[in-house]
């Protein structure tokens, strides 16, 4: 699909000093997205071993279980028995494993992923689209969009995987994806094929609409 217009995007530069100067420019490169990145991706992670996870969690202290549940936003105040905590945490971990091939993504959250994790997410076999933000820390429009992406992820919940990757840390991926302006938001299907991209910052509603147009 051709690139859709977003807010002004910062052009990608070869070094940070030059990039900071060029980030003020509004020009966006008109790039033709690659047809697929699935060929370069690794295989999805193995299936969730619930028995092994339960055994591991039962070895933890109650305080540790509560802390991990809190990190996942799960209320544990009504869970009286330790086994209730264990099962609640195992359920959340299993849902996350089924949601994300790399294990790095969680429903309703934005994950800042590595190159290896992106390869796994694009490896095929996923049941949900992936909304990927290619960004840089020096990029003003990227910083503006970051909280909007978080809000969009909360609204999308488990229907879409939401992630972002640093184009400076992982320049090979930025090149492979033919990124010409930052931020670049790309939607992939469950097999790792690119469906659509937008160069430039989007607000929450624009991100949600972009992602939902590719839910299957």
Is 163 buried (19+), middle (13-18) or exposed (0-12) by CB count in 10 A? buried
83 and 152 share one domain: no
149 and 201 share one domain: yes
CATH code of the domain containing 31 = 3.40.30.10
Which of 99, 115, 131 is the last residue before a domain boundary?
99
With both helix axes pointing from N to C terminus, report the angle between 204-212 and 140-156 in degrees, rounded to the nearest 10. Answer: 60
Q: Per-residue confidence of the chain (216 residues) as pLDDT tens digits? A: 545 556 667 776 544 444 445 444 433 433 334 444 444 433 444 467 899 999 999 999 999 999 988 877 789 999 999 999 999 999 888 877 778 988 889 889 999 999 999 999 999 989 899 999 999 999 999 999 999 999 999 999 889 999 999 999 999 999 999 999 999 999 999 999 999 999 999 999 999 999 999 997
31 and 138 share one domain: yes
Range of the domain at 32: 4-43+106-212
Instruction: State pTM to two decimals.
Output: 0.68
What letter does residue 100 receive in the DSSP assignment?
-
193 and 115 share one domain: yes
19 and 63 share one domain: no
**Mind telling me the catalytic residues?**
139, 142
Cα 95 to Cα 72: distance, rounded to the nearest angstrom? 12
195 and 113 share one domain: yes
């Amino acid at each position: 699909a051709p690139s859709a217009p977003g807010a002004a995007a910062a052009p990608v530069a070869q070094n940070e000093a030059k990039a900071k100067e060029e980030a003020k420019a509004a020009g966006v490169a008109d790039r033709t997205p690659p047809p697929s990145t699935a060929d370069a991706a690794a295989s999805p992670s193995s299936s969730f071993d619930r028995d092994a996870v339960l055994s591991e969690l039962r070895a933890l202290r109650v305080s540790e279980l509560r802390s991990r549940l809190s990190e996942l936003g799960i209320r544990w105040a009504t869970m009286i028995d330790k086994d209730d905590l264990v099962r609640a945490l195992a359920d959340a971990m299993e849902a996350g494993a089924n949601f994300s091939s790399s294990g790095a993504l969680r429903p309703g959250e934005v994950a800042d992923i590595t190159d290896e994790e992106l390869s796994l997410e694009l490896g095929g076999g996923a049941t949900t689209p992936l909304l990927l933000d290619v960004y840089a820390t020096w990029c003003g429009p990227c910083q503006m969009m970051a909280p909007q992406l978080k809000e969009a992820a909360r609204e999308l919940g488990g229907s879409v995987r939401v992630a972002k990757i640093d184009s400076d840390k992982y320049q090979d991926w930025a090149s492979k994806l033919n990124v010409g302006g930052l931020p670049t938001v790309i939607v992939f299907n469950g097999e790792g094929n690119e469906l659509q991209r937008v160069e430039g910052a989007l607000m929450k509603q624009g991100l949600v609409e972009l992602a939902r147009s590719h839910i299957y």
